[in-house]
Amino acid sequence: MFPTRQAARRLALQSSRRWSHSVAPSPRLNPVTEKDLAYFSSILQPSSILSTLSPSKLPASELDPYNTDWIGRYKGTSTTVLRPRTTQEVSEIVKYCNEKRIGVVPQGGNTGLVGGSVPTGSGEVVVNLGNMSNVRHFDAVSGILVADAGCVLQSLTDYIAPQNHIMPVDLGAKGSCQIGGNVATNAGGLRLMRYGSLHGTVLGLEVVLPDGTILDLLSTLRKDNTGYDLKQLFIGAEGTLGIITGVSILTPPAPQASNNVILALPSFECVLPLFKTAKRQLSEIMSAFEYIDRTAYDLAVKHGQGRALNDEDVEGAACFVLIETSGGKREHDEEKLNELLETLMTADKPIINTGVMSQTPAQFASMWALREGVTEAVSKEGKAYKYDISVPLSSFKDVVDVTRERLREKGLLGPKAVKHVIGYGHVGDGNLHLNVVADAYTPEIEAALEPFVYELVAKYKGSISAEHGVGVMKTHALHYSKSNTAIEMMKRIKQVFDPNGIMNPGKVLP
Amino acid sequence: MFPTRQAARRLALQSSRRWSHSVAPSPRLNPVTEKDLAYFSSILQPSSILSTLSPSKLPASELDPYNTDWIGRYKGTSTTVLRPRTTQEVSEIVKYCNEKRIGVVPQGGNTGLVGGSVPTGSGEVVVNLGNMSNVRHFDAVSGILVADAGCVLQSLTDYIAPQNHIMPVDLGAKGSCQIGGNVATNAGGLRLMRYGSLHGTVLGLEVVLPDGTILDLLSTLRKDNTGYDLKQLFIGAEGTLGIITGVSILTPPAPQASNNVILALPSFECVLPLFKTAKRQLSEIMSAFEYIDRTAYDLAVKHGQGRALNDEDVEGAACFVLIETSGGKREHDEEKLNELLETLMTADKPIINTGVMSQTPAQFASMWALREGVTEAVSKEGKAYKYDISVPLSSFKDVVDVTRERLREKGLLGPKAVKHVIGYGHVGDGNLHLNVVADAYTPEIEAALEPFVYELVAKYKGSISAEHGVGVMKTHALHYSKSNTAIEMMKRIKQVFDPNGIMNPGKVLP
Ligand SMILES: Cc1cc2nc3c(=O)[nH]c(=O)nc-3n(C[C@H](O)[C@H](O)[C@H](O)COP(=O)(O)OP(=O)(O)OC[C@H]3O[C@@H](n4cnc5c(N)ncnc54)[C@H](O)[C@@H]3O)c2cc1C
Ligand SMILES: Cc1cc2nc3c(=O)[nH]c(=O)nc-3n(C[C@H](O)[C@H](O)[C@H](O)COP(=O)(O)OP(=O)(O)OC[C@H]3O[C@@H](n4cnc5c(N)ncnc54)[C@H](O)[C@@H]3O)c2cc1C
């Protein structure tokens, strides 16, 4: 169901060469010196400091994991990584850096996909939260969890599982990413449709501001209307407004049962009525509604990613939908799913050709494998240009068709150029993965796609980054999704929190 | 289920005299003059202007509804009310007021309970959104609704009902309050437990900033990680950062069935295990979990607010819980509720004494009537000091007991002073209504309660205003729920958006 770390790294590497603007080091910031290191040594335990400077003199390779991002595209040259153990230590580090005008890069699990978690070359100090990994409190009655920002997502999942709760966020990187990083990137993931975004489930944050002040907003209240909801600013700010050191989050009760079904549809036009009908009949138990177009499905099957339907069932199918339910009682959920299938099959104008419901955990997993395997299949088929965008549900197919047409016009469609243009993604969240699968990366294809795709997204008032954020990778494209007024207001807010621009320089804002 | 407007007004009036600090008019602002009115006449239709100034010369009484707040406690003296019809008009009004340093009070349905929606006496112009009441777009597939801020909540509910969707927010004032006002106050209400807060369900906003700039954040995307989520700042800002003119909101599919049950508990200690068990067994279908202590229940019964249980069932009950479910299929929900009741009755140490499940819509309504009737009963019993607070679930009873003890110590408990101290509220949201029912309002009782209750709330790291906001009523008490650092950051953000302080002066920030 989830790609492994290796697979994800490889896939991402393949698509990484498309991004080529460079980041100018900020002139106002100073690099870390030996004198600074001496100061850090006076406030931190020796094991909390990694540096190539004297007296530590570690080989640069030891800092590589902190300087290099997950996709291997961005590589910083920081000399010093600090791994504080307490909020107080974070505060003292940041206060000092602010006084000395040293850039600070907050780093969680370093699994971000837009180069936000590594230094840009201004001699920043990396503040890695990995040593702050204690659960502070869990209330099994309310489901409210308070944890250090450095807790790994998987470890929190494991911590609350015996109490029958689950984290409201789940994603492929859960074995490495931290809850602080999830909040800083406003991570979406597999449960967003059901449990909503972190803007709704995060109840409170503890943040060290760029001047070292500790801002305690670590509320455990579901309701609190006393002034501006400041914590919201840090959710998705990608570490540019402060370092998150603690998180309070509402965790839902674990569902008692999960089911899924794969449906073959006669045309794209059936997706939306299907979504509507499923929402009505499955209501609160529908936890995923995933779209796969025919080409994506065929690629997944071709490359051995599962084969959920028989040949005759697939015949005439324009696209596929995977629906998952997570409810309080298996029999009830199955009954609802069966009733849904009946409604669909017996409609005057049938909405589906056929459907298969998983009967065993193995089948459940293999249906997900098909959907999740599209990524793997794409990488086996060729070199992929990948776009993670939000557009209105009704335009999913248009976006794919128009992009394909564009490439055809430019004479770039064919076995030696672009082989496939496919679309798949989370219909429930309006999140489309647009993949252009080519024989090789070429400047022509890149020029045909960008800024074309961004402009297309902008035309639909969509988002150029549905989940992954801006980081250093998309600052130049921010204006396709945000107005000048909005960007100007963001800059002013940045100025309020971080007048010296020390916090994650070069990220998010152009 | 919902108190009528009249009832609510009466109840609120009775408790209004407790608040007595005064608001100093802001020295930097200018009152509206005839010259200003002439300008407004040049940009607005005549019917959009109400003024006591020449040449309009309306009697002041015609402006009373706009100058007086719902609870009748706060009364402004504004000479001019503007009722623009378009975002552009709002923009021109605000731009002008900013240049001329005229205060602006954004006003929706004027149902706010903390005096936020009426002028404080700085000669502000009231900008009432009532004329901006068009639905701009509804997508029945995604459930995303885009509407003018001035749409009345009930009218939006009615608009989407035929499409089988409901608004994620619902409250007693729905016949008058506007969606813009709901967003500006981050209204909670009856559906918060199920659908989460507006911070999660509001997808986008259109806002006129205090300098007249139109900030278009009217996204219809569920996922968009491109920079700071600015719209969040306006949710709950009570009109102090700008005027909301458009709202994009995710509406859930209407549940197919609703059930409820009233349970009598042997002790308060059973509430939390009950909540935990109910959350596990009812999972996604539980939509309300309301707590009523014994005194509150007895008052409701005494004053004829319903009588859900037999005398023998009530005997020995320390408190009561009302559980509501809203699910996709009635039989399934009933089965789950029945199984829950069985678990509870057959537990080694029984968690409930008894329980009654509604069998008909009339019974369903009458069970809610009992819970909702507590407010009415309290007002019939005496004069009520009412606190709408958030505290940890486990301390609901403590807060009530400690407050009662405090009054006893002060010699204020008895038939001629404080008759009852009761607690009831939304366990699911951690929202407790603490009511002190007295024979009459007296300075002694008030002095015994304030700041005592606020300090008590602060001790539990709770919220002094769970839902209703700060307005002008609680600015002086904000520090009980927010640190100085947080208040300082709020002030800086206010400064960024509204350097001249024209937007809703005297509200929210101390
Ligand atoms: C295999 C894989 C699958 C993924 N799947 C998804 C997915 O489904 N949905 C999705 O949304 N994303 C996904 N991602 C990307 C996602 O952004 C990250 O995995 C995760 O949320 C980042 O957490 P992290 O701790 O690794 O943060 P990092 O990568 O360390 O940092 C990410 C950003 O947050 C900042 N940051 C980190 N910690 C803090 C802190 N404590 N305080 C302030 N700022 C901080 C950094 O400066 C950086 O800008 C995936 C990534 C991988 C590798
Ligand atoms: C009977 C009754 C029941 C209630 N029940 C609940 C409840 O269950 N939960 C709950 O949370 N609240 C409840 N409330 C209070 C709640 O705050 C309001 O009912 C509602 O949310 C306010 O909407 P409104 O349009 O009347 O706003 P108003 O009262 O007009 O304004 C409220 C505040 O918002 C600002 N404002 C209004 N419109 C805009 C706009 N377009 N742009 C910017 N600022 C604006 C005003 O300046 C003011 O500060 C109740 C009130 C009543 C009378």
Select from A236, A280, A428 the Cβ nearest to the Cβ of B164: A280
Question: Which atom of ligand 1 is least distant from the CA of A504?
Answer: 47
Q: B214 has which bridge partners?
A: B208
For residue B2, pLDDT beyond 50: no
Distance of CA A508 from the midpoint of ligand 1 (Å): 14
Q: What is the mean pLDDT of residues A76-96?
A: 97
For residue A397, pLDDT beyond 70: yes
- The sign of the torsion formed by the CA atoms of B236, B239, B240, B244 equals positive
Q: Is A106 in the pocket of ligand 1 (CB under 6 A)?
A: yes
Strands (E) located in B108-217: 125-128, 135-139, 144-148, 202-208, 214-217
Check: CB of residue A309 under 8 Å from CB of residue A264.
yes
Angle between helices A396-409 and A452-459 (to 10 degrees): 150
Q: Which of A67, A110, A171, A470 to mutate to test the pocket of ligand 1 (most atoms within 8 A of CB)?
A: A171
Residue keyed to tokens 């840090």: A234
B384 membership: H or E segment, kind and range: strand B383-390
CA distance B476 to B20: 11
- Provide the pairing of β-strand B125-128 with B80-82: parallel
Task: Round the CA-based radius of gyration of chain B to a whole number and report it.
Answer: 24
Position B22 scores a pLDDT of: 42
Q: Which chain A residue has its CA at the smallest distance from B141's CA?
A: A276
Check: CB of residue A94 under 8 Å from CB of residue A85.
no
Distance of CA B234 from the midpoint of ligand 2 (Å): 14
Position A27 scores a pLDDT of: 57
Of residues B381 and B189, the one with the higher pLDDT is B381
A residues 305-344 lying closer than 8 A (beta carbon) to B: 326-329, 332, 335-336
Q: What is the mean pLDDT of residues B69-98?
A: 95
Select from A220, A223, A228 the Cβ nearest to the Cβ of B392: A220
Cα A24–chain centre separation: 26
Question: What tokens were used for B190?
Answer: 């009856």
> A487 at the B interface (CB within 8 A)?
yes
Q: Which chain B residue has its CA at the smallest distance from A187's CA?
A: B225
Task: List all residues 6 or more positions away from B346 whose beta carbon is below 8 Å from its beta carbon.
Answer: none
Chain B environment of A200 (Cβ under 8 Å): 196-197, 199-201
Q: What is the mean pLDDT of residues B430-459?
A: 94
Q: Nearest 5 degrees, angle CA B190-CA B147-CA B128?
A: 85
Q: Nearest 5 degrees, angle CA B318-CA B303-CA B298?
A: 10
Q: What is the mean pLDDT of residues A91-105?
A: 98
Concatenating the DSSP letter of every residue in A324-346 gives: EEEES-HHHHHHHHHHHHHHHHT
Which tens digit of pLDDT belongs to each residue from A196-210? 999 999 999 999 999
For residue B27, pLDDT beyond 70: no
Chain B environment of A237 (Cβ under 8 Å): 228
Concatenating the DSSP letter of every residue in B458-469 gives: HHTT-BS-SSS-
Which tens digit of pLDDT belongs to each residue from A438-485? 999 899 999 999 999 999 999 998 999 999 999 998 999 999 999 999
pLDDT-derived band at B17 (thresholds 50, 70, 90) equals: very low
Q: How many CB atoms lie within 10 A of CB B201?
A: 24
Q: Is B240 in the pocket of ligand 2 (CB under 6 A)?
A: no
Lowest mean pLDDT among A172-176, B175-179, B199-203: A172-176
Cross-chain Cβ contact A224/B463 below 8 Å: yes
Cross-chain Cβ contact B509/A481 below 8 Å: no
Nearest-ligand number for the alpha carbon of B240:
2
Q: How far apart are the first and last CA of chain A?
A: 36
Q: Is A103 in the pocket of ligand 1 (CB under 6 A)?
A: no
Check: CB of residue A49 under 8 Å from CB of residue A56.
yes
Q: Which of A90, A133, A177 to mutate to test the pocket of ligand 1 (most atoms within 8 A of CB)?
A: A177
Lowest mean pLDDT among B51-55, B158-162, B382-386: B382-386
Which tens digit of pLDDT belongs to each residue from A295-322? 999 999 999 877 678 888 899 999 999 9
For residue B356, pLDDT beyond 50: yes
Residue from B101, B118, B145 nearest B63 by CA: B118
CA distance B266 to B399: 19
CA distance A89 to A214: 11
For residue B430, give the 3-state DSSP assignment.
coil
Position A19 scores a pLDDT of: 35
Q: Is A187 in the pocket of ligand 1 (CB under 6 A)?
A: yes
Q: What is the mean pLDDT of residues A383-400?
A: 91
Q: B217 has which bridge partners?
A: B205
Domains and CATH numbers, chain A: 135-250 (3.30.465.10), 257-359 (3.30.70.2190), 382-468 (3.30.70.2740)
Predicted-assembly ipTM surpassing the 0.85 threshold:
yes
Q: Which chain B residue has its CA at the smallest distance from A224's CA?
A: B466
Lowest mean pLDDT among A16-25, B75-84, B282-291, B301-310: A16-25
Most B CBs within 10 A among A160, A164, A226, hence the mutation to make, goes to A226
Question: What tokens were used for A170?
Answer: 């789940």
Q: Is A467 in the pocket of ligand 1 (CB under 6 A)?
A: yes
Q: What is the mean pLDDT of residues B432-445?
A: 94
CA distance B202 to B199: 6
Strands (E) located in A11-134: 49-51, 80-82, 104-107, 125-128
Cα A156–chain centre separation: 18
Q: Which chain A residue has its CA at the smallest distance from B183's CA?
A: A225
Of residues B12 and A158, the one with the higher pLDDT is A158
- Provide the pairing of β-strand B49-51 with A418-426: unpaired
Nearest-ligand number for the alpha carbon of B465:
2
Cross-chain Cβ contact B217/A465 below 8 Å: no
Torsion angles phi and psi, residue A25, rounded to 5: -65, 140
Distance of CA B112 from the midpoint of ligand 2 (Å): 4
pLDDT-derived band at B122 (thresholds 50, 70, 90) equals: confident
pLDDT-derived band at B307 (thresholds 50, 70, 90) equals: low
Cross-chain Cβ contact B227/A486 below 8 Å: yes
> A267 at the B interface (CB within 8 A)?
no
Chain A environment of B192 (Cβ under 8 Å): 222-223
Q: How far apart are the first and last CA of chain B?
A: 36
Q: Is B116 in the pocket of ligand 2 (CB under 6 A)?
A: yes
- Provide the pairing of β-strand A125-128 with B135-139: unpaired
CA distance B186 to B469: 8
Distance from CA of A85 to the nearest CA of B (A): 23
Question: What tokens were used for A452?
Answer: 């074309």
Which tens digit of pLDDT belongs to each residue from B239-288? 999 999 999 999 998 988 899 999 999 999 999 999 989 988 898 899 99
> A204 at the B interface (CB within 8 A)?
no
Chain A environment of B393 (Cβ under 8 Å): 141-142
What average pLDDT does the structure give for chain A? Answer: 91
Distance from CA of A305 to the nearest CA of B (A): 28
> A482 at the B interface (CB within 8 A)?
yes
CA distance B149 to B232: 16
For residue A430, pLDDT beyond 50: yes
- Provide the pairing of β-strand B431-438 with B418-426: antiparallel
Distance of CA B149 from the midpoint of ligand 2 (Å): 12
CA distances (Å), origin B224, targets A432, B3, B419: 12, 39, 53
Check: CB of residue A478 under 8 Å from CB of residue A510.
yes
Q: Is A117 in the pocket of ligand 1 (CB under 6 A)?
A: yes
Distance from CA of A27 to the nearest CA of B (A): 23
Question: Which atom of ligand 2 is least distant from the CA of B190?
Answer: 8
For residue B144, give the 3-state DSSP assignment.
strand
Q: How many CB atoms lie within 10 A of CB B94?
A: 27
Burial of A185 (0-12, 13-18, 19+ CB in 10 A): buried
pLDDT-derived band at A4 (thresholds 50, 70, 90) equals: very low
Q: What share of chain B is helix, strand, coil (3-state, %, to 5)?
A: 40, 20, 40
Cross-chain Cβ contact A255/B283 below 8 Å: yes
Q: Nearest 5 degrees, angle CA B142-CA B143-CA B146?
A: 110
- Closest C-alpha residue for ligand 2 atom 39: B181
Residue from A42, A49, A198 nearest A128 by CA: A49
Which tens digit of pLDDT belongs to each residue from A13-65? 333 333 333 444 455 899 999 999 999 999 999 999 999 999 999 999 999 99
Cross-chain Cβ contact B214/A256 below 8 Å: no
Of residues B1 and B116, the one with the higher pLDDT is B116
Q: What is the mean pLDDT of residues A332-336?
A: 92
Q: What is the mean pLDDT of residues A2-7?
A: 34
CA distance B178 to B83: 14
Check: CB of residue B321 under 8 Å from CB of residue B262.
yes
Check: CB of residue A210 under 8 Å from CB of residue A241.
yes
Cross-chain Cβ contact B216/A393 below 8 Å: no
User: Percent of chain A, pLDDT > 90?
Assistant: 74
Nearest-ligand number for the alpha carbon of A151:
1
Question: Which atom of ligand 2 is least distant from the CA of B71?
Answer: 53
Cβ pairs bridging A and B (under 8 Å): 284
CA distances (Å), origin B447, targets A378, B114, B388: 71, 20, 18
For residue B13, pLDDT beyond 70: no
Check: CB of residue A378 under 8 Å from CB of residue A299.
yes
Distance from CA of A496 to the nearest CA of B (A): 7
For residue A366, give the 3-state DSSP assignment.
helix
CA distance A484 to A201: 30
Check: CB of residue B462 under 8 Å from CB of residue B394.
no
Cross-chain Cβ contact B229/A233 below 8 Å: yes
Position B10 scores a pLDDT of: 34
Residue from B399, B320, B87, B194 nearest A250 by CA: B194
